[in-house]
Amino acid sequence: MALDGNWARRWVELAAASMAENRTELIHLDRNIGDGDHGENMDRGFQAALGKLPSLEEGASPADVLKLLATTLISTVGGAAGPLYGTAFLKGAVALKGKAELEPGDVAAFVEAASAGLQQRGKAQPGDKTMVDAWAPAASAAEKAAGAGEDAVAVLRAAAFAAVEGAAATEPLVARKGRASYLGERSAGHRDPGAQSTAYLLGAAVEAAS
């Protein structure tokens, strides 16, 4: 399937479904090392974005859809994740400006811009036990797949798979950013909720393409 505006809409729909389905799990993860609201925050933000999809013009591009998602997340999600995801999707949308359909290199550019924007905004580095630990490996994997001549959907799949692995790899880490960092060493042994939600969101992007 072409990664066009309809794909991007479908991504928001499936992401909203995934945030609703995984709400409780994300709440539990955030209860372990945070304040227990990540599932609620993400569900609220994506439901709001879902509700705004009909306001898009018929020929909306992937950038148009992702920009709407970003601004909606910024205005409706309280806490750290709203502005962070908002910035990631906004920077990612800028990288896709003017593209009706994403080529393999566009997918890689999107994930890289989202990851870089997120890191700039939150000042977290890979290894700090945040959503960066899902986005940064996703960006590297996408770049590698695009460089190896994979098609656009395969590049997206590579990114999503790396995000799943990156989220799992946050478990032994000690948090150095966000609420979990207040726990110090006690944050080790738990998966980062934002890295897990990133894995779900990129998984929904792949699902939207199949």
The site for ligand ADP (CB under 6 A) is made up of 30, 34-35, 37-38, 41, 79-81, 84, 122-124, 130-132, 177-179, 192-195
Asked if residue 182 binds Mg ion (CB under 5 A), the reply is no
| DSSP conformation letters of 70-99 | HHHHHHH--TTHHHHHHHHHHHHHHHTTT-
Whose CB is nearest to ligand ADP? 194
CA distance 138 to 12: 19
Shortest Cβ 174–ligand ADP spacing (Å): 14
Query: Based on CB atoms, which residue is closest to ligand ADP, 3 or 169?
Result: 169
Q: How far is the CB of 58 from Mg ion (least distance, A)?
A: 37
b/e 55-71 (16+ beta carbons within 10 angstroms → b)? ebeeebbbbbbbbbbbb
CB of 129 to ligand ADP, least distance (A): 8
Question: Residue 88 is encoded by which pair of tokens?
Answer: 């990631």
The one of Mg ion, ligand ADP, none whose footprint includes residue 81, by CB under 5 to 8 A per kind, is ligand ADP
Distance in Å from the first CA to the final CA of the chain: 6
Closest approach of Mg ion to the CB of residue 79, in Å? 4
Tell how far CA 33 is from the center of its chain: 20
The entry of ligand ADP, Mg ion, none near residue 177 (CB within 5 to 8 angstroms by kind) is ligand ADP
Which residue in the set 9, 10, 23, 38 belongs to the binding site for Mg ion (CB under 5 A)? 38
DSSP at 175: P
Distance, CA of 17 to CA of 184 (rounded, Å): 33
- Asked if 37 is part of the footprint of Mg ion (rule: CB under 5 A), the reply reads yes
In the complex with Mg ion, the residue whose CB is nearer, 37 or 133, is: 37
Tokens of 165: 């692995």
Distance in Å, CB of 108 to ligand ADP, minimum:
21
Q: Are 141 and 156 in contact (CB under 8 A)?
A: no
Residues near Mg ion (CB under 5 A) are 30, 34-35, 37-38, 79
